[in-house]
């Protein structure tokens, strides 16, 4: 796209005005600097963002984050709010991997005390955490009661009824690990079957489990509130709802494609298929999406349980470890949220909440600092912990980005570097890697991603989240 069409409205916010195209209902905005804009223009993400502005009921603007890149219908790194009750909900604005998200665990383990144990630790994690496409886990939804418990009860059900995890975990998960509105009656049998044996699995693509060292602090008070101490190990888990969520999205994209005509909805891209939230189809999708989101929270909860078991088994005699949840945040989801007294359906695809200290959903322990935000890099670069700001409400609909963002397709990445070569390169930098496929490893090479430091700096300078800590990888388990 021709960047000359962008108007700078603030130092790090650019806008395509609503009169750029006749069918636009609101402007399209993007949070970026000039360097990131030059990378963004190389795919169709800005065109997709403009298409999002045509959704019925969309308010404010369609917003692109610094990690924006081309996706299905919506760009990845896209945020849009539609005014309720009749504004639409669009599965493409949530994504196929519903509630793909990130959970950070602190361990209390000092890296230098276990430096020679990192490789066997990562190896044992790879044995306990199934990764790769189609892999099954060890906790099967064996009966209808368990299906209902997980899909409607979320993490509280796992903790209270199955004994997976600790009671304190729930406090530090977005929405308490359970989104109200979930209804298993709206989840197809095929979706339930696909998810039956996938709790506690990473899946493929860019999903990962990463062992990291807290490398640097930028805000000591916020870091103290989160229990982050320089030199200690953390574990970052990135996965979602697996086949169950994918099937929910597939099912309702088909249904919405059929019902749009009933609501006189015409869109420039069929991948934006949608329905009013107040419609029967919209209510069914929202109920199914919430159920899939609960499944994803439970998936990360089971993985947390596995991490605790492995660390206790491998390091228990050497260190006094206590693995605790810092926070868990979703980045492929739609939530009903309030702005200026009105309710909106806020779509976040490849974007996360960035709630400031004044928001009631922030855990009590973080009320003075704001909600933790995680922006992972790639397996060869650092990840960052930030906190949301109250200014993010007006600047970005309480949202920020979910990672560095791809700057190169998976096919292009594989042409640039081989998996075997990449393993050696990472090993030379002290990073232990386990991945079932060299091809899949190459697809996620660090060179395929934007500069995470630049992305994080833009987020911070735009005022939507503040930097707290940098995490350096020492062990990576890739999906």
pLDDT in tens, 294-323: 999 999 999 999 999 999 999 876 677 899
Which residues line the annotated binding site? 97, 206-210, 238, 331-332, 376-379, 383, 402-405, 478
- Look up the CATH superfamily of 3-407+449-478: tRNA-splicing ligase RtcB (3.90.1860.10)
> What pLDDT sits at residue 341?
94
CA–CA distance, 314 with 205 (Å, rounded to integer): 28
> For residue range 177-205, what is the model confidence (pLDDT) as tens digits?
999 999 999 999 999 999 999 999 998 88
pLDDT at position 476 is: 92
Three-point CA angle 386, 456, 478, nearest 5°: 85
- Identify the sign of the CA torsion 70, 72, 74, 77: negative
User: What is the rounded CA–CA span in Å between residue 141 and residue 148?
Assistant: 9
pTM of the model: 0.95
The mean pLDDT value of the chain amounts to 93
Mean pLDDT confidence for 58-73 = 96
| Antiparallel, parallel or unpaired: β 101-110 and 88-89 | unpaired
Checking if the pLDDT of 61 tops 90, the result is yes
Using one digit for the tens of pLDDT, what is the confidence trace for 408-432?
777 777 778 888 788 888 888 888 8
Q: Which two tokens stand for residue 102?
A: 């990130």
Q: Of 69, 122, 121, 76, which is closest to residue 95 (Cα–Cα)?
A: 76
Q: CA nearest 196: which of 204, 188, 207? A: 188
Continuous H helices in 129-241:
144-157, 189-195, 220-226
Catalytic status, residue 402? yes
Rounded CA-CA distance 351/78 in Å is 7
CA distances to 115, 309, 380, 390, 455 from 110, rounded to whole Å, are: 9, 18, 21, 34, 29
Comparison of pLDDT for 122 and 143, the residue scoring more: 122
pLDDT tens-digit series, residues 429-476: 888 888 877 777 887 777 777 789 999 999 999 999 999 999 999 999
The pLDDT, as a whole number, for residue 368 is 97
Across 16-25, 223-232, 311-320, 345-354, least confident range: 311-320
Q: 229, 236, 246: which is closest to 332 by C-alpha?
A: 246
CB neighbour list of residue 196: distance below 8 Å, 6 or more residues apart: 140, 141, 147
pLDDT at 277: 97
Q: What is the mean pLDDT of residues 131-139?
A: 69
Extract the annotated binding site for GMP.
Answer: 206-210, 331-332, 376-379, 383, 402-405, 478
- Report the range out of 32-36, 75-79, 376-380, 409-413 with the highest average pLDDT: 75-79
Give the per-residue pLDDT at 135.
65
Q: How far apart are CA 327 and CA 199, in angstroms?
A: 19
Confidence of residue 137 (pLDDT cuts 50, 70, 90): low
Return d(Cα 373, Cα 101) in angstroms, integer. Answer: 11
Annotated binding site for Mn(2+): 97, 207, 238, 331
pLDDT at 42 over 80: yes
Contacts 24+ apart (CB under 8 A), 314-322: 314/117, 314/120, 314/121, 314/124, 315/109, 315/114, 315/117, 315/121, 318/113, 318/114, 318/117, 319/108, 319/109, 319/110, 319/113, 319/114, 320/108, 321/107, 321/108, 321/109, 322/107, 322/108
The catalytically annotated residue of 111, 246, 347, 402 is 402
Paired strand residues for 386: 373, 467
Q: What are the DSSP calls for 245-292, one per residue? A: HHHHHHHHHHHHHHHGGGGT---S-GGG--EETTSHHHHHHHHHHHHH
Contact present, 304 and 165 (Cβ < 8 Å):
yes
- State both tokens at 138: 């060890």
CA distance 64 to 70: 11
Handedness of CA 377, 475, 408, 90 (dihedral sign): negative
Q: Tell me the chain's radius of gyration from C-alpha atoms.
A: 21
pLDDT tens, 328-366? Answer: 999 999 999 999 999 999 999 999 999 999 999 999 999
Question: What integer pLDDT is reported at residue 1 of this predicted model?
Answer: 65
Instruction: Decide: helix, strand or coil at residue 150.
Output: helix
User: 418 in helix, strand or coil?
Assistant: coil
Q: Is 168 exposed, middle or buried (0-12, 13-18, 19+ CB in 10 A)?
A: exposed
Proportion of the chain above pLDDT 90, given as a percent: 80
Give the separation between CA 15 and CA 291, rounded to whole angstroms.
Answer: 35
**Which pLDDT score, from 0 to 100, does residue 130 have?**
79
Task: For residue 469, give the H/E element and its range.
Answer: strand 465-478
Q: Name residues whose C-beta falls within 8 Å of residue 58's C-beta, 6 or more positions apart in sequence.
A: 25, 26, 52, 80, 81, 82, 87
- Break the chain into its structural domains and give their ranges: 3-407+449-478
Look at residues 472, 461, 324 and name the one whose alpha carbon lies nearest to residue 13. 461
The reported pLDDT for the residue numbered 349 is 98
Task: Decide if 329 contacts 373 (C-beta within 8 A).
Answer: yes
Asked if residue 38 lies in contact with residue 407, where contact means CB atoms within 8 angstroms, the answer is no
Q: Per residue in 235-263, pLDDT tens? A: 999 999 999 999 999 999 999 999 999 99
The rounded distance, in Å, linking the Cα atoms of 377 and 374 is 10
Question: How many contiguous H segments (helices) and E segments (strands) does the chain have?
Answer: 13, 19
Residues in contact with 5: Cβ distance below 8 Å, sequence separation at least 6, in sequence order: 16, 20
Q: How far apart, in whole angstroms, are the C-alpha atoms of residue 31 and residue 89?
A: 23
pLDDT digits (tens, 9 = 90+) for 277-287: 999 999 999 99
261 Cβ contact list (under 8 Å, min separation 6): none
pLDDT above 80 (res 47): yes
């Amino acid at each position: 796209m021709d960047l000359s069409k962008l108007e700078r409205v603030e130092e790090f916010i650019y806008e395509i005005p609503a009169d750029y195209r006749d069918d636009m209902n609101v402007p399209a905005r993007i949070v970026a600097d000039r360097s990131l804009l030059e990378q963004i223009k190389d795919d169709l993400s800005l065109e997709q963002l403009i298409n999002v502005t045509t959704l019925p009921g969309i308010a404010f603007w369609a917003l692109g984050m610094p990690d924006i890149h081309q996706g299905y219908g919506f760009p990845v790194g896209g945020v849009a709010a539609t005014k309720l009750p009749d504004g639409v909900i669009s599965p493409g604005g949530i994504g196929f991997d519903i509630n793909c998200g990130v959970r950070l665990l602190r361990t209390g383990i000092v890296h230098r005390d276990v430096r020679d144990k990192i490789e066997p630790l990562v190896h044992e994690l790879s044995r306990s955490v199934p990764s790769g496409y189609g892999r099954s886990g060890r906790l099967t939804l064996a009966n209808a009661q368990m299906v209902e418990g997980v899909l409607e009860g979320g993490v509280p059900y796992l903790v209270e009824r199955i004994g997976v995890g600790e009671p304190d975990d729930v406090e530090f998960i977005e929405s308490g690990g359970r989104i109200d509105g979930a209804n298993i009656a709206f989840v197809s049998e095929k979706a339930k079957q696909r998810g039956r044996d996938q709790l506690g699995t990473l899946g493929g693509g860019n999903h990962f489990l990463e062992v990291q060292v807290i490398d640097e602090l930028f805000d000591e008070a916020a870091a103290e509130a989160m229990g982050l101490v320089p030199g200690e190990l953390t574990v970052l888990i990135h996965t979602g709802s697996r086949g169950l969520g994918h099937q929910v999205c597939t099912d309702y994209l088909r249904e919405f494609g059929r019902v749009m005509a009933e609501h006189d909805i015409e869109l420039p891209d069929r991948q934006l298929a949608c329905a009013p939230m107040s419609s029967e189809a919209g209510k069914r999708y929202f109920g199914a999406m919430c159920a899939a989101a609960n499944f994803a929270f439970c998936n990360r909860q089971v993985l947390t349980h596995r991490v605790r078991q492995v660390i206790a088994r491998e390091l228990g005699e050497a260190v006094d470890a206590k693995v605790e949840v810092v926070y868990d945040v979703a980045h492929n989801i739609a939530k009903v949220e309030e702005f200026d007294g009105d309710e909106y359906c806020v779509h976040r695809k490849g974007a996360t909440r960035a709630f400031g200290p004044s928001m009631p959903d922030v855990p009590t322990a973080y009320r003075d600092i704001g909600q933790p935000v995680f922006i992972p890099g790639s397996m060869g670069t650092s990840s960052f912990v930030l906190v949301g700001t109250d200014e993010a409400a007006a600047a970005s609909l309480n949202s920020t980005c979910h990672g560095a963002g791809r700057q190169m397709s998976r096919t292009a990445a594989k042409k640039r570097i081989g998996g075997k070569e990449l393993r050696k390169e990472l090993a030379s930098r002290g990073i232990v890697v386990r991945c079932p496929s060299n091809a899949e490893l190459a697809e996620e090479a660090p060179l395929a991603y934007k500069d995470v430091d630049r992305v994080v700096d833009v987020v911070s300078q735009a005022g939507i989240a503040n930097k707290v800590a940098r995490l350096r990888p020492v062990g990576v388990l890739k999906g």
